Structure 1
């Protein structure tokens, strides 16, 4: 028994029948003695429908008013879920982000949470009610409604769990946990019983869509135990937790990939101080995020500079760099959007050598050429041709034996 914050996404509450099923789950948890706070998203498809409405009356709708519109999706869900709970004899009360006083900054469409006043929630929990909170939204210091960006309900749930000092934050979704890789690409991918916050942060940033990265960051900052569970199947899910002193970790926990990468190469620029800033300055000014960067060793005073961006920003980036090529003194600028990034992630890398060699040799054995390499303490990422995505991921999954359950080492 304890205080549990549960979050249900759009698919989980996509119909009134599914909302009623969620209500039954919540009542069962409450009857078992838990204090329950639940965060819900808009019903599946509702946010896109509302965006379409906005664009049908204004081709460039004001962000402030878009947030007012989009916040209504979650308000529908909290009201319906609270009604469903009351129908089955479970006392409940719902709150919008503003009513809970989830205070954010004023960055409409991607606001960040600054503070939460959880006093009213505590009072309702003390009175035996299930508390239903609208995810994805808050209010700024001027009283304007804000939204947290796609996947923001995850962040709402973790932030509430932190504010309430909950025993666990449970994220219910359409998958039953975090897998060693995408089961649609690797059929024998294995569900992980647990994974560290650091590993989940890397997987989220590298393309895993299970959790919003800001939610994982929040969990790490405030040490909120986080669990991913299925809305439709019973099971233990995956616990996202912290490394324990002396705990043996698997060498590699997962393989992530990102299809939305494109690269731009600037050939033959003078190898002088500040050249990287001159290349990337206009890109940053256009609010384009850069991922991987490689600068070659200087040859005869010239160097090549390659970096990657999101595929949606590819043409804009290429145009910007080409327009600046003469100023840079570059011989040529070219791009390629037929690439993917494949990454191996695991805290076990910290204490084991040879991960990079195994990765590179495995790809070489499959005839896959590596175009770029990036590393961190617990991650190695490579860029390869897009056509090799599935072959590369499956080969690496097999090479690191991720389909097998880890064997606990015996104490000597």
Structure 2
């Protein structure tokens, strides 16, 4: 077998090792059930919530509220004697010359129905205050209408809907999930094989570089699959929420340029991250007791840079980070999603990322070769540094 056959076989093994279709189906079904429960939980709580009797001392006729029964009372003092027995609360509303109305609700303990009632009564009293001003319906409607504030984007190519504004967040969240998945999978794959003492047998059949490249290939493909799953689930959740809220269903506009750029940057970025993790994980003897395990979380900071510039994706800092290879895989896709990035710009950044990935992979192979056969102790930082620079 030649080199690429070894790499593809190891990559396929690593992908199948962590991809279990029954587990995937079960996870999707479980997430769907949990999502359905979360959607209907609020309505279920309201439907099963007991009706609360509230004594009210007010010069107004109270509006009808769900799960609330108003009981008129002559005075607050008398109603307070039955608080907690007959009444769940005592509401007192008094007229005020400056504010219009003052409302106070007396209860024995906090509960969710009190917040809902407070919002409804506040809105009702606000409307009553407007009615007391002897305004006609047109004037009241005019006062209730909030001022209009419109941001007019002159470049129509940069004008975005609310669905398109969420694209950078979706991209970064999926990349973050993939990076953390890489951390767990690569750590598990390498440290388990070291602890099971199978490294010597494998090294008689393949070279360290073929072994590491195969792991990078398989785990990167698995993480790309996780990214796609997360993106699809998030989009479906947003669409279902729109339907439940009664809003129009809006789909984010994904151009071919955004799809290609995001896929290529995610592929190379994850390959670079996995190369770092493969080389470093090989130097860890026991992940349960090694102080170096936390160092493998450092790549998450690269994705964090994307969240730091999400509000200004075309700013100077974002432009610098979109060319810096350690952060470009997270920052450049959100700049492309925002619009205004020429094809040559993200293509040039992609070339820089590719060269950096190759350099990091070459250094990681040397570190992987150093650490994969070391048992009982971990290589020193000095020897790791010498291995990284090829000495």
Task: State TM-score, norm by structure 2.
Answer: 0.22
Structure richer in strand, relative to its length:
1
Structure richer in helix, relative to its length:
2
Task: State TM-score, norm by structure 1.
Answer: 0.21
Which has the higher Rg, Structure 1 or Structure 2?
2
